Every structure is written in structure tokens, then in C-alpha cells.
Amino acid sequence: MLKLRKYINSVNHCQGALEMSKSESQPVLDELRILREAVESTNEGFVTIDEDHRVIFFNRAAEKIFGYSREEVIGRDLTTIMSPSCAKDHKSAVKRYLDTGMGKSLGHERELLATRKNGQQFPAAISFSVTLINSKHFFTGLVRDTTETKLLQQRILHSERLAALGQLVAEITHEIKNPLMTIGGFARQLQRNVTNDKDLKKLNIIVSEIKRLEELLRDLGDYYLPRKLELGPIDVVQLLKEIRTMVKPDCEKRHIHIATDFDEAIPPALADEARLKQVFINLVKNAIEATEEKGGIRLEAKSVAQNIMVRIIDNGPGIPKDDLPRIFEPFFTTKTQGSGLGLCVTKRIIDEHPGASIRVESQEGQGTTFEIILAPYEQGKHP
């Protein structure tokens, strides 16, 4: 890349050079062709403008990054591919350089938000250089789309935080778990012997709260402590049928109808069976809790674009619009009882599976749909 930058002055005028008269030597033409092809093949966008702010060079990478074809850009003002605020600043910088010969950004890389043709903003790293040819200045921006880099940095930072918190959770759990089990054991013994209704009611509250704390410790461990997935071919339909059988008595007590819509021919999914079962149970139980008596739940499993799609749908009251963006955050819950870790544990498990994703749709008064996409198990590609 350093070599490309050294030759950038020549690149700006490759097209003109290739049209030189036949008297020019063939080696020079070949060198310019090679250089131009190298710049066209790079993953970084090259955008060159003249003193009038008109684009005179726009390589293939720039087309891909910004979403414009070079026919839409070449010969036009650079503002074609810039937001109004960036365009104003850039024009001022070009004018300042032409007036003073000084530029703050020249030779340095800057990070900023750029805009694609479809209006989507993305993080970009841009470095600038200037070329003087025949008393005319030409300005070149070397553009890198840093979206993937930023996402990777966020994942690394998130993993580092989880690792640190995981160590803390492990230590806290160890210190709390044993005395909690002792308290719970004694309380349950007293439950069997106490006959006074007032005392029994107090003991029932103690046992219930101990159970809640035990579940909180379990959820904390699930979320913060790393666990290796045991991936293999999983029959998603069979797994959902087992869960339906397991929750059917609860649904019957509340007169909730649980329907299924399974494509029996879907391929095995690439998943950890125990962890995927945990995800499905959590989502189905949430759907049951959200569904009013005599309501309905539907479990779906289908093949979609070579993947497996699972949907868990309820016709409950739905999730408030303001709460929807936060439902996967740790400790956020709309329930009166609950740790607020169930859904974030669910999301983490899905995120850990290769090629898997989870999303939610909800409308107040109409219900909620959780949709999970799983990659298929491909024989010979996985252990």
C-alpha cells in the first residue's frame, strides 16, 4: 500500500498517459497500465478531484464503498458523494490550500462518518494527498470503509468486559451459593414441620426468594461465564416437539392453545443441543407468561434460503415500543419477577452459534414474534 501511495501522483493521470502519442516508449505505457490496474484492484477507494472540486478519478473500490458508478461521479462536483456538512468543510479546506499552500489534513488519516448513495452512514478512514502538475493542483482521498473493523473492535472490547465480569461472577457465586443452599435447606425442613399458618407463610416467602436468588446465580453464570459449544447436527423439529410436550400441561391449565407449523423436511441445524434447547424453552416460557388466558402460541420451523428459521409467536399484549430496543440488555425486564438476564442469555447463546441470529418483532395489543435463524449442518465440514 505504501508503494501505491508513492505512485499516486502518476495514477491521477493514468488515463491521460495511456492516450499519449505513439512516439512514447512502450515500457512507459506498460508501467502505467500496471499501475492503474493495481489501483483499480485495491480494496481502498481512490477519489481524485481538480481545483474546481470536480472528480476526475474514481476507482472500483470507491464505487463499491459509496454505491455510485463512476459514470455518476466523474466530471461532477465532489459534493455528489458527500453530505452537505462534509462538502462545505472540504471545499473550504481545498480553497484554503490553494490560497495558502497549507492543509491540516494532508499526510494524515482522519476518521469520519461518510454517506452511501442509499443514505446509509458508515465509518471511514480517509487520508489526503495533493499533486501539482502543469501548475494545477489535484487532490486525492484514499478511503477505507472501517465498518467491519469497528464491529470487530466492539466485539473484542465486549469479550474483554465479559471475561473480567465472568471472573467476578465466578468468585461472587462461589461465596454466595453455599450459604444460600444451607439457608434453603433449613427453610424447606421447617416448612415440613411448621403448622402455624402465619409462620408457614413467612417460610414460603423465604423459600421462594431463595429459589429466585438461585436462578439469578444460574443466569449470571450462563451470561458471563464462557462455555464451549458442543456443535453437531440437531433435529430442530424434534426438539420443538419435545418442548411443546413439556409445556403443554402449563398451557392447558391456562387454556392457552399451542399450535405448530413445521416443515418436516428441513435439514439438521448446526447447534449445541443443550444450549439451543435452553433458548427455545426460555422463549416458549416467556410466550406463555405473556399470553393471556385462552390466548394462543405458535411454534414454526421452516427452511429459508438454505437456513433454518424458527419462530415463536404469541398473541399477548406485545412489548412497548420504547422497551423493544432494550429487551436484550442485561438486567432489563418488564416483569414484576425476573432477573432480566433470560433474553440476554438467549441472545448470547445464539450469537455464539456460527451463522445464527435472533430478532424480535412486536406490536402493542397484537403480540410478539421471536425469529431465530440457524445455519444447516453440512456433512464433512464440521466435526
* Residues 361, 359: Cα–Cα separation, whole Å: 7
Complete domains list, the chain, with CATH = 2-145 (3.30.450.20), 146-226 (1.10.287), 229-383 (3.30.565.10)
> Which residues on adjacent β-strands are paired with residue 369?
313, 361
Calculate the CA dihedral of residues 184, 190, 195, 199 and round it to 10 degrees. Answer: -50
Average pLDDT over residues 9-31: 52
pTM score of the predicted model: 0.52
Integer CA distances (angstroms), 379 to 10, 251, 269, in order = 51, 38, 11
| Amino acid at the residue 244 | R
**Which is it for strands 296-304 and 367-374: parallel, antiparallel or unpaired?**
unpaired
* Residues 84, 61: Cα–Cα separation, whole Å: 23
CB 301 within 8 A of CB 266: yes
The closest alpha carbon to 239, from 266, 274, 277, 270, belongs to: 277
pLDDT band at 20 (very low <50, low <70, confident <90, very high): very low
Residue by residue, DSSP assigns 110-139 as EEEEEE-TTS-EEEEEEEEEEEEETTEEEE
**Which of residues 238 and 195 earns the better pLDDT score?**
238
Helical (H) or strand (E) element with 35: helix 26-41
Question: What SS3 state is found at 271?
Answer: strand
Q: Which segments of 225-311 does DSSP mark as H helices, in order?
A: 236-253, 273-290
* Residue environment code for 45-69, b if the CB has 16+ CB neighbours within 10 A, otherwise e: bbbbbbeebebbbbbebbbebbebe
Helical (H) or strand (E) element with 369: strand 367-374
**Which is it for strands 257-262 and 121-133: parallel, antiparallel or unpaired?**
unpaired
* Residues 221, 169: Cα–Cα separation, whole Å: 7
Query: What pLDDT is attached to residue 283?
Result: 93
pLDDT band at 340 (very low <50, low <70, confident <90, very high): low
Question: pLDDT at residue 346 above 60?
Answer: yes
**Which of residues 58 and 21 earns the better pLDDT score?**
58
Q: Percentage of the chain surpassing pLDDT 90?
A: 23
The closest alpha carbon to 211, from 43, 81, 338, belongs to: 338
Residue 174 gets which letter from DSSP? Answer: H
Question: pLDDT at residue 1 above 60?
Answer: no
* Residues 361, 367: Cα–Cα separation, whole Å: 9
Query: What pLDDT is attached to residue 379?
Result: 64
Give pLDDT tens digits for 111-168.
888 888 888 888 888 888 888 888 888 888 889 998 888 888 877 776 666 666 666 6
Q: Which of 48-62, 139-153, 173-187, 283-297 has the lowest mean pLDDT?
A: 173-187
CB 294 within 8 A of CB 354: no
